[in-house]
Structure 1
Amino acid sequence: MILINFFEPETSSWQPISLAQLPSVLSADARVWINLNDASIDEQQQVLQRFAIAPTLVEDFIRERHPPKLEAQDNFTLLVMRGYADIDFSEYISSAQVNLIYSKQVLVSRIDCHNPQLLAQLTPNIDSKHGAIISDWVKQIIITVSASYLEKLINFEDEQSELEDAMLHRGNDEQMALIMRYRSVLRKINRNLTYQKDIFADAIYEEQNPLLRNFTETELRDFYEKFERLHSMTDLYYDQLSDLVQGYLSTTSHQINERMKVLTMVSTIFIPLTFIVGIYGMNFINMPELQMNNGYFITLAAMAAGGVAGLIWFKIRGWW
């Protein structure tokens, strides 16, 4: 389904219209927002062909999943972004895919987001009494995309601190599994943030960048700093979680070594005793010690003395 909102300069109001009612030539003050969230591929192609948008932009726009991208041809600019739509970092379902094609007068949007609250924030706000500058809508969408990550990252800081304290005192495999899930999610969103950070980094230093058509250098630098900060935060949290994993593995390895040391000392003490038991357990006829009246007690005393001597030796060497 195609939803078209047309701002009529003569009446200074927004009106829902059909594609057939859309003027072939827009007046200088007219504005059009076309919402293709629920449109089929054929309907999307129909709308984009109506504005004679280049096939390469059309192909990228209608693709179900596309990494963040910026491209421009003629008067239209394609901007693809990804927001974070899940509640937290414990589970990653899918990103909020934001596909925009816009000019000074036209905005075509397709937003795929399973989070209703974020979807509402990404949807342009139609004011029936006033017109709108398309670049302001695009700017608001960019800021909303960055905020979708920032809120979760700020909340995650406290959660990670609690997890770090828990791992320090009573780390277990369940917490390790949670850490691995967090690392997986952070790695995925870090890729999205890298793409989006690079988009605005290139826009700052390229004189012919299409974003310069609609935004000032100050605004582009602000966009870049937002995504660069988000990217740095995800890197920091990922490294901290990696440190927790390494710390847990080191602690577990140390505990295993301590247990192995105890088992080794026990084995070192009992192997000689087992050797003595093995000798006197042989069924030879000529074993003089078997005829001794106190042989049993002497053997037990020798075995006890050997065990105690072993323990004393471990204590002197600092192994126990």
Structure 2
Amino acid sequence: MIKCMLLQADKTCLYGAEELIETWNQDPKSFLWIDMDSHDPAQERELMQTMGCHPLAIKDAQRERHPPKIELFKKYIFMLYRGIYQPQDDLLFEHLQISMFVGTNILITSHAKKSMSIDNLFSAEGEQYLSKSPITLALRIFHFSCGIYLQKLFEFEEKLESIEDKFQLGGDDKMMQEITLYRSRLTKLKRTFSYHSNIGSELKILVTDDTDIINQAELHTVIDVHERIERLLTLSQMHYDICSDLINGYLSITSHQLNETMRVLTVITAIFIPLGFLAGLYGMNFEYIPELKISHGYFYLLGFMGIIATALILLFKKKKWL
């Protein structure tokens, strides 16, 4: 589906489909936003070529999966980032690849499914941003997507604090499995935010370059978007570190408990080794064993074994092994 928003020179805004492209061609002072949602790839490619988009950028835009990037062409700034189709709880996102071609008076967006940020801004609010410049609108779409990520990270922060409190009372394998799952998801988010951070840095460089598409007037918006991306990257790193600390803490506690158990078992074994030796020695079936005919030898041996066991227990307690 193709939908268009045309902001004319007299600030009148029209909504429609491909027919608005011809109206835009007749008015060089107007701004046009073309949004392609789940459109036929061949027709989409043909339209992009008609609008002067670079073939290599079109190829990247239509790939099913491509790392986020930004490139400057003669007529357009090409941005490719991971938006959100549908956010869920527990840091589970259904990502959506969004490509944007930003010109001096046109913005072309393309995505395989509905985008929350684009649907939200294809309205009067989007008209206000488009009236400033297409790059302002593109940055605000990007900014809105980052806001969804940020909201979900704040919600997860509260849950992570609750997990930390429960962990202090005593962790278990189920909790460990949950924390490990969160750490894995945070790793993927960190990778995405790192790509986005590079886009923000490149945008700041483009502001200072000699191009009509983006200039010093957009510097504040660029900085705002970049700071939000950096905050996302910082938060995801912080949450990742907390999850890692919880995992390492659980493993350390488990290892300590295992060492304690092994120490007790070792002490018990050490006590019974001499006792077992004496029992085995006098349990041999030889007729002429020394001390075998002593009338109270049985009780003497038991007493001697008791003394050995008591002495070993006192020795281990003195060394704080018990």
* Residue 27 (structure 1) shift: 0.7
Match of 1:307 in 2: 309
Match of 1:28 in 2: 28
Output the amino acid matched with 1:66: H
- The 1:188/1:311 distance shift into structure 2, 3 A limit, reads same
* Residue 18 (structure 1) shift: 3.6
* Residue 110 (structure 1) shift: 1.9
Measured against aligned partners, the alpha-carbon deviations of 1:103-122 in whole angstroms (never above 9, x if no partner) come to 233222123457x756633x
Given that residues 14 and 127 in structure 1 are in contact (C-alpha distance below 8 angstroms), is that contact kept between their aligned partners in structure 2? no
Whole-Å separation in 2 of the counterparts to 1:22 and 1:126: 22
Given that residues 78 and 102 in structure 1 are in contact (C-alpha distance below 8 angstroms), is that contact kept between their aligned partners in structure 2? yes
Output the amino acid matched with 2:240: Y
Output the amino acid matched with 1:56: L
Output the amino acid matched with 1:318: K
Correspondence 1:96-115 to 2 at 5 A: 96-112=96-112
SS of 2:287's equivalent in the other structure is: coil
CA-atom RMSD, angstroms?
2.8
Given that residues 100 and 107 in structure 1 are in contact (C-alpha distance below 8 angstroms), is that contact kept between their aligned partners in structure 2? yes
* Residue 274 (structure 1) shift: 0.8
- The 1:118/1:10 distance shift into structure 2, 3 A limit, reads closer
Match of 1:247 in 2: 249
Given that residues 111 and 119 in structure 1 are in contact (C-alpha distance below 8 angstroms), is that contact kept between their aligned partners in structure 2? no
Normalising by the residue count of structure 2, what TM-score does the alignment of the two structures yield? Answer: 0.87
Structure 2 residue ranges without an equivalent (≥5): none
Given that residues 77 and 103 in structure 2 are in contact (C-alpha distance below 8 angstroms), is that contact kept between their aligned partners in structure 1? yes
Normalising by the residue count of structure 1, what TM-score does the alignment of the two structures yield? Answer: 0.88
* Residue 150 (structure 1) shift: 0.9
Match of 1:44 in 2: 44
1:57 is the counterpart of 2:54: no
Output the amino acid matched with 1:104: T
Given that residues 197 and 229 in structure 2 are in contact (C-alpha distance below 8 angstroms), is that contact kept between their aligned partners in structure 1? yes
Pick which of 153-162 and 102-111 moved more: 102-111
Match of 1:258 in 2: 260
Pick which of 125-134 and 97-106 moved more: 125-134
Correspondence 1:281-300 to 2 at 5 A: 281-300=283-302
Given that residues 193 and 230 in structure 1 are in contact (C-alpha distance below 8 angstroms), is that contact kept between their aligned partners in structure 2? yes
- The 1:284/1:215 distance shift into structure 2, 3 A limit, reads farther
Given that residues 69 and 199 in structure 1 are in contact (C-alpha distance below 8 angstroms), is that contact kept between their aligned partners in structure 2? yes
Match of 2:119 in 1: 120
* Residue 233 (structure 1) shift: 1.3
Output the amino acid matched with 2:68: P
- The 1:266/1:129 distance shift into structure 2, 3 A limit, reads closer
- The 1:43/1:214 distance shift into structure 2, 3 A limit, reads farther
- Equivalent in 237, 242, 248 of residue 239 of structure 2: 237
Give aligned-pair identity as a percent.
28
* Residue 6 (structure 1) shift: 4.3
Measured against aligned partners, the alpha-carbon deviations of 1:160-212 in whole angstroms (never above 9, x if no partner) come to 11111212221111111111111111111111111111222233245227663
Output the amino acid matched with 1:317: K
Whole-Å separation in 1 of the counterparts to 2:255 and 2:185: 27
1:187 is the counterpart of 2:187: yes
Structure 1 residue ranges without an equivalent (≥5): none
Measured against aligned partners, the alpha-carbon deviations of 1:53-72 in whole angstroms (never above 9, x if no partner) come to 11111111112222221112
Match of 2:81 in 1: 81
Given that residues 2 and 43 in structure 1 are in contact (C-alpha distance below 8 angstroms), is that contact kept between their aligned partners in structure 2? no
Output the amino acid matched with 1:261: R
Task: Work out the number of aligned pairs and report it.
Answer: 317
Correspondence 1:73-222 to 2 at 5 A: 73-84=73-84, 85-92=86-93, 94-112=94-112, 120-121=119-120, 123-125=121-123, 132-133=130-131, 134-206=134-206, 207-208=208-209, 212-213=214-215, 216-222=218-224
Given that residues 14 and 128 in structure 1 are in contact (C-alpha distance below 8 angstroms), is that contact kept between their aligned partners in structure 2? no
Measured against aligned partners, the alpha-carbon deviations of 1:109-159 in whole angstroms (never above 9, x if no partner) come to 123457x756633x5226899994333421320211210221011112211
1:274 is the counterpart of 2:276: yes
Whole-Å separation in 2 of the counterparts to 1:69 and 1:284: 88
